[in-house]
């Protein structure tokens, strides 16, 4: 191994430690830190972030990353170098002065968005959103290669290998599948969302039990409480779930427990050789999302999974489920009802929410659409795809924090992840009697197969490599479309 | 202001951010972090600590700290420079190579102590404890000035201005007061420790209420759970309590809530001019301990404090206190019963536990006593001062983690703090009708007086300066002795 590589490795090891420390601070901020501490705490978090940024953008790291010949490295080394080059490129492509100005713009933009959402006042948000959009487009253009469109640059930041040329046909197929399914179902079933009431302490006890049952290792993780559920990982021996319990909607915490457990199981099952390195996390955003969706939907809404444990749920939360027949509970878990808010959406309508956002992002980054045109365009698409018009902009175009925070091009990862989840389930069904395994409560067999085929590699393989090696084919949405057809056709 | 001072300030600001980040990581480790994560998490915590250490021991910081003339600085500047010189001196007095070896010895020593305590096997701990003692003595000798004894060097590390020449007469007076008080009380009252049983959730709810009632600001702090209660402060806007709730001893969490609230109120009331600087914490260990003892004992065991809120306690924890008359509860809170374990000791016997440790530390650092002689000496002193012999070494000489962790010379701070608490109470009684204020539930008047007289200054004044300015006299134990006499004479 050459000396330049060793030197780079040493810097990366230290940088990984900083990343882990920053993860922990962000966990703390979002779970237990007191509200009035925020502005002060931001100072020391800022100092540690700045240190990480300085480390990764130093001329020495740039020189080393550029100088090392990947051909002299083994497989893991190549993967690591690829990650580093990507990180360095992203962090250094923008002049420091402009980067700082953009960070300040984002602070203003986030606050303006929050206020606009609280007061249902899109007009006050439009000018600053337009600035964010223009800046993102300009920064993207700086990095565009060979006539790449700015939106493709942004898409590539979050998920490699999914430019508009891949996403357009994917989303067209998905739309062609889901829109009529939903329409027929709405007309035939008149489904409605049922909520159940259960004391918070009993919900907490059940969700802790459920996470462990699904395969989350509580001795290498923890559970906390927060506003919007998330998974936070320091390293594979400490991956945590932050959940939100609604007293009057106990199904909500059950779904998020399964979803966040999927993320955490992925992280916990990464091999120790990658602990606290740049290869220690998941392969990509969409691959991560595929694991959370797999546990949330393909496992956590299935009859076979709940059959053996529904009596436990009834015993642990008798107020909510004691008198509810199993069939009724299964129906509740699998309704498909159009509603305006993405994060409350069911499995079928979820992808329509994503498609709306994808089409609008493409329009305002590459197509010349203006921020001020967004509310009308948003509502038109909701009416067309979901058959509803959001009652307010708060429950419409203002609902997500992403755009105001500069996250443009991120939404498609959610749908790519959903499709990968179905592709993974199909492969597992070729490997084992999936339903029998679930009915026997042998989740370790499923977790074991995912560990061997996907999780243990961390980020040392790309999502594409993992999919080809595990399922025998590249990404393709047919399993997902078939799954939706099978499940939601009436 | 001169340029060297500005340069030093900049480095210190960054170092303070690292200290705050390290505090947060230590909070996390002791409250929520999963057990199996510890060895991995130690790596990134180690990286951040090392960064702090490197920053503070750099030749540049040493040069700056030495070069700056304190006479060119204002009061806060002088205080800051004094802290920095002390920190730099402590961190750099030992050759780096020996320091690393000592850190490794401590890892071994802590583990050996833990195992020895678990198995009641002092003999297995004695050799490594002897090494720790010898190393501490040797390091102390390197820093001794003008014929100072090694033990005085160690004492000065934890509390300035309290060498053996001050502590000897203090502890002699204390012993002469407490030993006969305890003996007469034991003979006359036949008191015993009563424990009460209460559901954990109700204990948590009451303790959260109690902390806020006492003056802790829950919007600038948080409550967590841990094995041994502690207070952890990131900065004055985020000071937290970690508590332990015993289902079958609900009085325990009440005492520790008051104790840790005292620490947190001190930290929360430091002026914003010191936030996230080296002057942002308490003035000294003993001064900090005085505030926790003051809230735990002088406020939290007093009749006047509980009179208005005992009905609340009875309502919130009916299982434990519903049928207990107020007088009986007050008796329980104020028993004095010799028992072998320091952290479970009552207010009267507590100082005897400290005196035993002080006398033994002096003997094994300065007096040639060997580690192997400790169990016999320990038991003799317990019999002499407390009238009991610990049933095992686990409940005797092995009970505390301090010595195995290298903390030698720290114990006296606890008793100095208890004496300062009484001196502070006496001053408050000169300033206000203390009991009437408590009976009226006007804790804000007490917190306000402490803020104005002590807390707001952070570490910009020494403990000695604070005591003189607030009480009009230097440290002296008469108020403490009078308080004990008044409270415990029968």
DSSP state of B341: -
> For A415-450, what is each residue's pLDDT tens digit?
999 999 999 999 999 999 999 999 999 999 999 999
A43: nearest CA in chain B? B17
Query: Closest approach of chain B CAs to the CA of A51, in angstroms?
Result: 10
Q: A51: Cβ–Cβ under 8 A, 6 or more apart, which residues?
A: A18, B51
In the predicted model, what is the mean pLDDT of residues B213-231?
95
Residue A378 corresponds to which tokens in the numbers above?
């948003």
Query: What's the average model confidence in pLDDT over A238-258?
Result: 96
- Could you tell me how many CB contacts below 8 A there are between chain A and chain B? 116
| Contact between chains at B24 and A20 (C-beta distance less than 8 A) | no
By CB atoms closer than 10 A (0-12, 13-18, 19+), residue B13 is middle
Q: Which residues of B286-321 are buried (b: 16+ CB within 10 A; e: fewer)?
A: bbbbbbbbbbbbbbbbbbbbbbebbeebbebbeebb
Nearest to A40 among B14, B34, B235 (CB): B235
Residue A185 has a pLDDT of 94
- B260-299 confidence digits (pLDDT tens): 999 999 999 999 999 999 999 999 999 999 999 999 999 9
Q: Which residue of B has its CA nearest to A19?
A: B44
User: Phi and psi dihedrals of B202, rounded to 5?
Assistant: -70, -35
**pLDDT above 80: residue B53:** yes
d(CA B200, nearest CA chain A) in Å: 12
- Architecture of domain A105-490 in this structure: Orthogonal Bundle (1.10)
Residue B160: active-site member: no
Per-residue H/E/C for chain A: CCHHHHHHHHHHHHHHHHHHHHHHHHHHHHHCCCHHHHHHHHHHHHHHHHHHHHHHCCHHHHHHHHHCCHHHCCHHHHHHHHHHHHHHHHHHCCCHHHHHHHHHHHHHHHHHHHHHHHHCCHHHHHHHHHHHHHHHHHHHHHHCCCCCCHHHHHHHHHCCCCCHHHHHHHHHHHHHHHHHHHHHHHHHHCCCCCCCCCCHHHHHHHHHHHHHHHCCCHHHCCEEECCCCEEEEEECCEEEEEECCECCEHHHHHHHHHHHHHHHHHHHCCCHHHCCCCCCCCCCHHHHHHHHHHHHHHHCCCHHHHCCCHHHHHHHCHHHHCCCCHHHHHHHHCCCCCCCCHHHCCHHHHHHHHHHHHHHHHHHHCCCCCHHHHHHHHHHHHHHHHCCCCCCCCCCCCCCCCHHHCCCCCCHHHHHHHHHHHHHHHHHHHHCCHHHHHHCCCHHHHHHHHHHHCHHHCCCCCHHHHHHHHHCCCCCCHHHHHHHHHHHCC
Residues 6+ apart with CB under 8 A from A332: A194, A196, A251
Which of the residues of A are catalytic?
260
Is A444 within 8 Å of chain B by CB?
no
Query: Over the stretch B223-251, which tens digit does the pLDDT of each residue have?
Result: 999 988 999 999 999 999 999 999 999 99
Chain A positions in Cβ-Cβ contact with residue B271 (cut-off 8 Å): none
Angle at B272 between CA B269 and CA B278, to 5 degrees: 95
Between A339 and A36, the more confident residue is A339
Q: Pick the residue with more confidence: A36 or A446?
A: A446
Q: Is the complex ipTM more than 0.90? A: no
Find all residues with CB under 8 Å of B63, minimum gap 6, and list them. Answer: none
pLDDT tens-digit map of B437-470: 999 999 999 999 999 999 999 999 999 999 999 9
List % helix, strand, coil for chain B (3-state, nearest 5). 70, 5, 25
Q: Chain A partners of B222 at a C-beta cutoff of 8 Å?
A: 32-34
A34 and B219 within 8 Å at the Cβ level: the answer is yes
Question: With 80 as the cut, is the pLDDT of residue A96 above it?
Answer: no
Is B212 an 8 Å CB contact of chain A?
no
Contact A34 B238 (CB under 8 A): yes
Chain A residues touching residue B224 (CB < 8 angstroms): 32
d(CA A136, CA A365): 8
pLDDT digits (tens, 9 = 90+) for B383-425: 999 999 999 999 999 999 999 999 999 999 999 999 999 999 9
Do residue B28 and residue A33 have CB atoms under 8 angstroms apart? Answer: no
Q: What would the pLDDT profile of A301-334 be if each residue is shown by its tens digit?
A: 999 999 999 999 999 999 999 999 999 999 999 9
Residue A247 has pLDDT above 90, yes or no: yes
Closest CB from A17, A28, A34 relative to B220 = A34
Considering only CA atoms, which of B178, B247, B240, B181 is closest in space to residue B211? B240
* Alpha-carbon gap, residue B136 to A469, rounded angstroms: 58
Q: Please tell me if residue B33 touches chain A, with a CB cutoff of 8 Å.
A: yes
The answer to whether the Cα torsion of A164, A165, A168, A174 is positive or negative is: negative
Residues of B in contact with A208 (CB under 8 A): none
> For residue A187, what pLDDT is reported?
93
Give, as one character, the DSSP assignment of residue B217: -
Residues of chain B positioned with their CB less than 8 A from the CB of A44: 16-18, 20-21, 234, 276
pLDDT tens-digit profile of A102-156?
Answer: 888 988 898 899 899 999 999 999 999 999 999 999 999 988 988 899 999 999 9
Alpha carbons A28 and A242: distance in angstroms, whole number: 10
Contact A36 B275 (CB under 8 A): no
- Looking at residues B185-214, what average pLDDT do you find? 95
Q: Does B185 touch chain A (CB under 8 A)?
A: no
Residue A42 contacts B where some CB pair is shorter than 8 Å? no
A34 and chain B: CB distance < 8 Å anywhere?
yes
Q: Contact B41/A224, CB-based, under 8 Å?
A: no
Query: Within an 8 Å CB–CB cutoff, is residue B235 touching chain A?
Result: yes
Q: Indicate the pTM of the whole model.
A: 0.91
Q: In this model, does residue B96 exceed pLDDT 80?
A: no
Could you give the percent of chain B with pLDDT greater than 90?
86
Distance from CA of A107 to the nearest CA of B (A): 21
Distance from the Cα of A345 to chain B's closest Cα (Å) equals 32
Residue B1 confidence (pLDDT): 55
For A235, phi and psi rounded to 5 degrees? -170, 175
β-sheet bridge partners, residue B204: none
Catalytic residue among B51, B219, B247, B260: B260
Instruction: Report whether CATH 1.10.10.10 matches the domain B122-490.
Output: no
């Amino acid at each position: 191994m050459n000396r330049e590589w060793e030197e780079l490795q040493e810097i990366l090891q230290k940088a990984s430690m900083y990343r882990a420390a920053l993860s922990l601070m962000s966990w703390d901020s979002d779970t237990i830190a007191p509200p009035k501490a925020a502005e002060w705490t931001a100072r020391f978090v800022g100092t540690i972030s700045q240190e990480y940024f300085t480390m990764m953008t130093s001329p020495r790291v740039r020189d080393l990353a550029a100088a090392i010949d990947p051909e002299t490295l083994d497989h893991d080394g190549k993967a690591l170098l690829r990650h580093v080059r990507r990180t360095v490129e992203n962090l250094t492509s923008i002049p420091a002065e402009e980067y700082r100005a953009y960070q300040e713009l984002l602070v203003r933009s986030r606050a303006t968005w929050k206020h606009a959402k609280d007061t249902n006042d899109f007009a006050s948000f439009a000018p600053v959103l337009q600035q964010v959009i223009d800046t993102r487009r300009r920064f993207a253009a700086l990095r565009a290669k060979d006539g790449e469109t700015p939106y493709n640059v942004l898409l590539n930041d979050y998920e490699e290998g999914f430019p508009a040329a891949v996403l357009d046909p994917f989303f067209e197929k998905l739309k062609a599948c889901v829109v009529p399914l939903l329409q027929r179902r709405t007309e035939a079933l008149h489904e409605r969302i049922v909520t159940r009431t259960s004391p918070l302490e009993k919900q907490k006890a059940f969700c802790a039990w459920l996470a462990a049952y699904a395969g989350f290792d509580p001795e290498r993780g923890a559970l906390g409480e927060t506003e919007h559920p998330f998974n936070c990982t320091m390293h594979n021996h400490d991956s945590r779930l932050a959940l939100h319990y609604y007293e009057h909607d106990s199904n909500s915490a059950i779904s998020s427990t399964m979803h966040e457990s999927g993320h955490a199981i992925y992280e916990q099952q990464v091999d120790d050789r990658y602990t606290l390195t740049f290869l220690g996390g998941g392969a990509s955003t969409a691959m991560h999302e595929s694991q959370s969706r797999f546990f949330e939907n393909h496992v956590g809404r299935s009859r076979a999974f709940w059959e053996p444990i529904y009596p436990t749920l009834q015993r642990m939360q008798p107020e909510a489920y004691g008198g509810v027949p199993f069939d009724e509970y299964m129906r509740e878990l699998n309704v498909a009802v159009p509603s305006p808010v993405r994060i409350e959406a069911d499995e079928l309508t979820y992808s329509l929410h994503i498609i709306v956002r994808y089409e609008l992002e493409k329009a305002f980054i590459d197509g010349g659409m203006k921020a001020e045109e967004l509310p009308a365009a948003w509502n038109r698409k909701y009416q067309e795809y979901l058959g509803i018009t959001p009652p307010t902009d708060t429950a419409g175009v203002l609902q997500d924090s992403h755009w105001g925070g500069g996250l443009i091009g991120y939404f498609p990862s959610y749908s790519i992840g959903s499709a990968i989840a179905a592709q993974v389930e199909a492969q597992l069904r070729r490997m084992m009697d999936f339903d029998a395994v679930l009915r026997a409560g042998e989740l370790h067999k499923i977790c074991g197969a995912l560990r061997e085929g996907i999780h243990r590699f961390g980020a040392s393989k790309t999502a594409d490599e993992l999919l080809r090696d595990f399922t025998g084919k590249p990404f393709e949405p047919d399993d997902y479309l078939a799954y939706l057809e099978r499940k939601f056709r009436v």
